[in-house]
Structures are given as structure tokens and as C-alpha cells.
Amino acid sequence: MAFDYKKEYKEFYIPKNKPSIVEIPKMNYIAVRGKGNPNDENSEYKDSIGLLYSIAFTIKMSYKGTYKINGYFEYVVPPLEGFWWQEGNKSSIDYKSKDKFNFISIIRLPDFVTKEDFEWAIDEATKKKKQDFSKVEFLTYDEGICIQCMHIGSYDNEPKTISLMHEYMIENGYELDITDTRFHHEIYLSDPRRCDVNKLKTVIRHPIRKRK
């Protein structure tokens, strides 16, 4: 049996489909930055996913992925995530202007994986796959206090869920705190290639702070 971050940390990965406030601890990620419409056939976004999973599985399948976690010697690669923003529009996402999207695609690293382990995986994948992994980086992110909610359905319908989140945020004395270093955050629990678009499960998370 393998350690599964989604099951062990349900408060971070499987929230209810109603808003809640949560404090996210500092985590390390494999990350790739890019821009443009993620739906384009040859988009930077689609390329980023391939790069991320190549490194994630290089670590998992190596001796560096055999550390014991809570009694388990194996782990499930955590889900794909993404930070999103648009130039000049940090506080909201315009889903009709996808060509202006900027993103950081990420996959969480187990806590035992060091930056040195990550660099080893980059070298190993480069040699074995004969591919350029120079865009992949080791990212440490301290997300802090956030509001989050499970969104069910199309990504284009996310504004409805976000509206509910912001109403809850205001009712509880908080305000939005999206900045150059705190982002609109999505966690993808469904594979859109295999799942009915109306049943897609996506965790939406926004950074917040106490209203002054």
C-alpha cells in the first residue's frame, strides 16, 4: 500500500464543495513556468505537464523515492496543480482572455526530497530521455491563510464557485490577498481527457488576509 497525499491530507486536497478557510504550510514543488492559452494544441502549458511528470516519476521510481513515510515505503505522485494570473489583473481571472494567461505548473514533492535529490533527477531524466529539462525548477512556496472550495464542473464555470468563496471570505472578516507572490491556485483531481466535463473536480484556492 502506498502513501497517498490526497487521503492523508484531505483538508488540503479534498475540501467540501462549500468554502472554508485553511492555513497551508510551506511545501516544496517541481515547477514549470509559462504563458498562453492552455487549450492550444502545442501550448507551453501542455509541454509543462510532460516535463513535471517526467521528473516526478524519475524521483518516485529511483532509490530516492524509497524513504519511509508514515510507515509506507511507496507514495502516490501528488496531483497536478497550477498557479494562474494575467498581466495587469492579479485579483481575478478573465476566462475569456486565455491567451493572456500566465502560469506556474506544479507537483508537490515529498518532504524528504531535497534540492540535491531534485537536481539529481533533472540530470538523470536528461540523460535517459535526451530531453531538455532546463525549464523545471525546485520551488518552495509558503501559501499561508487561504480560502478554498471544491469546484465541480467545467473550468470555465469557476467564477460561480469563486464568487461564493469571496462572499464567505468577506462574511468572515477577510479580504483577498492575491499579489505578485500569492496566486489563484488550482488543484486538479480529475483527468479532463477521461472525465465528463460536468464532473471534473478542481480545488480552487485564493490567498486571503484579515480585513483591516
Kindly list the domain boundaries of the chain, sorted by start residue.
11-26+142-212, 28-140
Contact 60, 47 (CB under 8 A): no
Q: For residue 50, what are the CA distances in angstroms to 2, 29, 42, 65? A: 23, 15, 12, 19
Q: What gap in Å lies between CA 188 and CA 204, rounded to an integer?
A: 9
Say which CATH architecture domain 11-26+142-212 belongs to.
Alpha-Beta Barrel (3.20)
Widest Cα–Cα separation across the chain: 53
Alpha-carbon gap, residue 176 to 127, rounded angstroms: 44
Return the DSSP state at 25: P
The verdict on domain 28-140 having CATH code 3.20.80.10 is: yes
Q: The whole model's pTM is what? A: 0.93
Contact 55, 47 (CB under 8 A): no
pLDDT tens by residue, the chain, 212 residues: 788 999 999 999 999 999 999 999 999 999 999 999 999 989 999 999 999 999 999 999 886 555 555 555 688 999 999 999 997 776 677 888 899 999 999 999 998 899 999 999 999 999 999 999 999 999 999 999 999 999 999 999 999 999 999 999 999 999 999 999 999 999 999 988 889 999 999 999 999 999 98
List Cβ neighbours of 58 (8 Å cut-off, separation of 6 or more).
121, 124, 125, 128
Distance between CA atoms of 111 and 113, rounded to whole angstroms? 6
